[in-house]
C-alpha cells in the first residue's frame, strides 16, 4: 500500500448520468462499508449543465477530502471539467483495464464514466475495480509529480 486515501467518495453527474449514479448509490455503499459515499447531484433527469456537477465533485477532491466518481452521457465533459482543478487527476474509464491502469499508473482520484456508452453492470464492475486498486508508485510517482509541477507552473505564472 503506497498511501492511505481518504475514505470519502463523492458522486456527481448531469442528467445523462443520473440513472447510473442512482444505481451506484444503491449498490456501492453496501459493497464498500468502509467507504462513505456522498451524492452531490444532480438529483433527477431534468436537463442541467455537466460542468456545474463536475465542479462540485472536483472541488472536494481538489481539497483533499476524498475521491470522486463522475458520470455524464459520454463521461468526457465531466472529465475535461474536473481536470481544470488542481490536484485532480480525473480519468475516463471504459473497461476494467482502463479503470485499473488509471489507479496503478496515474493515481487517478476521480473516475469518469459515460452512462450512454456503458452497460450498467460493466459500469459497476469498473467502479469495483477502480475503488479496489492501489497506486503502484515507484516510477509512476515521478510522472504524477511531473503533472503536478506543470500544474503549479500554469497557476504560478512561471514560464
107 in contact with ligand RB5 (CB under 6 A):
no
Candidate residues 9, 28, 55, 72; the one interacting with ligand RB5 per rule CB under 6 A: 72
73 in contact with ligand RB5 (CB under 6 A):
yes
Size of the site for ligand RB5 (CB under 6 A): 8
Which residue's Cβ lies closest to ligand RB5?
A: 77
Catalytic residue check, 112? no
CB neighbour list of residue 10: distance below 8 Å, 6 or more residues apart: 38, 40, 56, 57, 60, 61, 65, 66, 67, 68, 69
Sign of the dihedral defined by the CA atoms of residues 15, 31, 124, 99, in that order: positive
18 in contact with ligand RB5 (CB under 6 A):
no
The DSSP call for residue 38 is E
Chain mean position to CA 106? 12
Which CB, 82 or 135, lies closer to ligand RB5? 82
Which CB, 66 or 92, lies closer to ligand RB5? 92
Distances (CA, A) of 30 to 33, 34, 106, 115: 6, 9, 27, 21
16 in contact with ligand RB5 (CB under 6 A):
yes
54 in contact with ligand RB5 (CB under 6 A):
no
Contact 155, 84 (CB under 8 A): no
Candidate residues 74, 83, 102, 129; the one interacting with ligand RB5 per rule CB under 6 A: 74
The burial of 71, by beta-carbon neighbours within 10 Å (0-12 exposed, 13-18 middle, 19 or more buried), is given as buried
Catalytic residue check, 72? yes
Which residues contact ligand RB5 (rule: CB under 6 A)?
Answer: 14, 16, 50, 72-74, 76-77
Q: Which residues are marked as active site?
A: 72, 105
Amino acid at each position: 500500500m503506497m498511501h492511505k486515501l481518504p475514505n470519502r467518495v463523492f458522486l456527481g453527474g448531469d442528467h445523462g448520468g443520473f440513472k447510473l449514479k442512482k444505481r451506484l448509490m444503491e449498490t456501492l455503499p453496501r459493497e464498500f462499508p468502509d467507504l462513505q459515499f456522498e451524492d452531490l447531484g444532480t438529483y433527477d433527469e431534468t436537463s442541467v449543465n455537466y460542468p456545474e456537477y463536475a465542479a462540485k465533485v472536483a472541488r472536494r477532491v481538489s481539497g483533499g477530502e476524498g475521491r470522486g466518481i463522475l458520470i455524464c452521457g459520454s463521461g468526457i465533459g465531466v472529465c475535461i471539467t474536473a481536470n481544470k482543478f488542481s490536484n485532480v487527476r480525473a480519468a475516463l474509464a471504459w473497461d476494467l483495464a482502463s479503470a485499473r491502469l488509471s489507479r496503478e499508473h496515474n493515481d487517478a482520484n476521480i473516475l469518469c464514466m459515460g452512462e450512454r456508452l456503458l452497460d450498467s453492470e460493466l459500469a459497476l464492475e469498473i467502479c469495483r475495480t477502480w475503488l479496489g486498486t492501489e497506486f503502484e508508485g515507484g516510477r509512476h510517482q515521478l510522472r504524477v509529480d511531473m503533472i503536478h509541477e506543470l500544474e503549479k507552473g500554469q497557476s504560478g505564472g512561471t514560464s
